[in-house]
Amino acid sequence: MSDPLLRTDSVTKRFGKLTAVSDVSLSIPEGGISSIIGPNGAGKTTLFNLFTGKHAPTEGSIEFRGEEIGGLSPHEIVSRGIVRSYQITNFFSELSALENVRLATQADRTGFGPDDFLRHHASLSDAADEAEAVLDRVGLLDVADQTAANLAYGQRRHLEIGIALATDPDLLLMDEPTAGMGPEQTNATVSLIEDIAEDATVVLIEHDMDIVMNISERIAVMNKGELIARGTPAEISENEAVQRAYLGGE
């Protein structure tokens, strides 16, 4: 089997006396969709925050493509190709959809070295083309010129995904991407996630079990900070420890 894209080894995060993530060893292979599920407070978001550099692990390691990333800054982690699509709004509301995505594509391609500076002008028009392609992919080309603030809720969520895609991530972390959406928008978002997973690795935190079971190739289940099960949707749906965790009995 090929090396995992992301691997944690006994990673632990404590906040004072509270252990939010406890001794979690998990491998995410390259490609496809993996989901992290678990009851409220299980430690899912904290695990994402460790992956993105928002928090440093208290103990243990996190490797991306075989290199330690635990404790790196968010900026360094993004530059390695790990990007998070936020559940909270993460765009400039007065700028248009296109401008928001274009800023993200520019940030991805414009470095700070002298060569980058010389390439800057040419890269701006490329960034504009790329931004349009990203907007098309997330279904927002027809509202490209509307300000982000004027987009409907589901469109704003897709804009956030577009901003993440604009940096061409290898690993896209998505935190409840369908939260608050109606059935039609949910279906559109699920199709988009499946499309993204054709050429990037996607890890989802998702509470909607129908989506999780339909879309995931593999699922990791957390409860009270611990990883209690890993497996395919069929394996997880039959796992007794998982059923107990969801019934609140463990």
The verdict on 46 binding ligand ATP (CB under 6 A) reads yes
Indicate the residue type of 128.
A
The verdict on 57 binding ligand ATP (CB under 6 A) reads no
Nearer to ligand ATP, 21 or 134 (CB): 21
Candidate residues 11, 24, 42, 219; the one interacting with ligand ATP per rule CB under 6 A: 42
Candidate residues 9, 31, 32, 45; the one interacting with ligand ATP per rule CB under 6 A: 45
The verdict on 44 binding ligand ATP (CB under 6 A) reads yes
Nearer to ligand ATP, 160 or 206 (CB): 206
Candidate residues 3, 10, 15, 232; the one interacting with ligand ATP per rule CB under 6 A: 15
Shortest reach from residue 14's CB to ligand ATP, in Å: 9
The verdict on 41 binding ligand ATP (CB under 6 A) reads yes
- 156 contacts 176 by C-beta, under 8 angstroms: no
- Tell me the site size for ligand ATP, rule CB under 6 A: 11
The verdict on 53 binding ligand ATP (CB under 6 A) reads no
Distances (CA, A) of 59 to 19, 21, 35, 221: 11, 10, 23, 20
- DSSP string for the chain: -PPPSEEEEEEEEEETTEEEEEEEEEEE-SSSEEEEE-STTSSHHHHHHHHTTSS--SEEEEEETTEE-TT--HHHHHHHTEEEE-SS--S-TTSBHHHHHHHHHHHHH--SSHHHHHHHHHHHHHHHHHHHHHHHHTT-GGGTTSBGGGS-HHHHHHHHHHHHHTT--SEEEEESTTTT--HHHHHHHHHHHHHHTTTSEEEEE---HHHHHHH-SEEEEEETTEEEEEE-HHHHHT-HHHHHHHHT--
Candidate residues 7, 33, 43, 208; the one interacting with ligand ATP per rule CB under 6 A: 43
The verdict on 2 binding ligand ATP (CB under 6 A) reads no
The verdict on 154 binding ligand ATP (CB under 6 A) reads no
Stretch that binds ligand ATP, among 42-50, 65-73, 140-148, 212-220 (CB under 6 A): 42-50
Nearer to ligand ATP, 114 or 248 (CB): 248
**Spatial distance between the Cα atoms of 156 and 152, rounded to a whole number of angstroms:** 6
Nearer to ligand ATP, 60 or 162 (CB): 60
Nearer to ligand ATP, 146 or 239 (CB): 239
For ligand ATP, the binding residues (CB under 6 A) are 15, 18, 20, 38, 40-46
